[in-house]
Chain A
């Protein structure tokens, strides 16, 4: 298995532009998580899905952020409009439901908003 695949690896965009981050979880995994890593707050959970259904989006910082999981093999995290303070590394992780020791993370997308 190729693991959790995120794209793009790096994204540089101008303030006000829409940004879409993509994630392909491990085949067979039915939980998917979006995290954001910053120096100040470490790894913050933004949202997670079980069986493609959003379960907890309390970590989504603002209405500018949205996430979807249209099927078991694909998820997106969208920021519209983007702001410089959104600059961070965004990670996607997947696991089997309830297996909290079994998270597999992708390599992350480094987002820079200028």
Chain B
């Protein structure tokens, strides 16, 4: 049973518009959430994170929102750029543990 779920395998967004990637989790004990970005033939790289004590974290064009009651988080990219085309993985962790649980990923394509 997957504890971190990304229900949209792919998303296509026009350049300059907002990209919204969604993620749901099932375990209320998770207290740290992350987004990773992956280009083809490369390993995933860390993008942005949020602690469960916050509901929003912003870093430049990237903002992550956390709704603990709904066990839902989202990643907003504004404005979307061609270089944002990649696979985005949502992930969750217990900050007391060493391991991260990843979702299945969403392939984002930014079209001109």
Q: How far is the CB of A5 from chain B (nearest CB, A)?
A: 11
Cβ–Cβ < 8 Å partners of B34 in chain A? 100-101
Q: Does A12 contact B (CB under 8 A)?
A: no
Compute how far the CA of A98 lies from the CA of B32 in the bound complex, rounded to whole angstroms: 12
Docked-complex contact B99 and A105, CB < 8 angstroms: no
Q: Does B28 contact A (CB under 8 A)?
A: no
Compute how far the CA of A43 lies from the CA of B35 in the bound complex, rounded to whole angstroms: 13
Compute how far the CA of A31 lies from the CA of B93 in the bound complex, rounded to whole angstroms: 15
Pick the residue among A45, A91, A98, A102 that contacts B43 (CB under 8 A): A91
Would you call the interface of chain B mostly helix, strand, loop, or mixed? loop
Compute how far the CA of A55 lies from the CA of B99 in the bound complex, rounded to whole angstroms: 10
Q: Which residue of A lies closest to B92 (CB)?
A: A100
Interface residues of chain B, those whose CB is within 8 Å of chain A, are: 2, 6, 32, 34, 41-46, 49, 89, 91, 93, 95, 97-105
Given A43-B103, A48-B99, A56-B99; 19 other pairs, CB 8 A cutoff? A35-B102, A42-B104, A42-B105, A45-B102, A91-B44, A98-B98, A100-B32, A100-B93, A100-B97, A100-B99, A100-B100, A101-B46, A105-B44, A106-B43, A107-B41, A107-B43, A108-B41, A108-B42, A108-B43
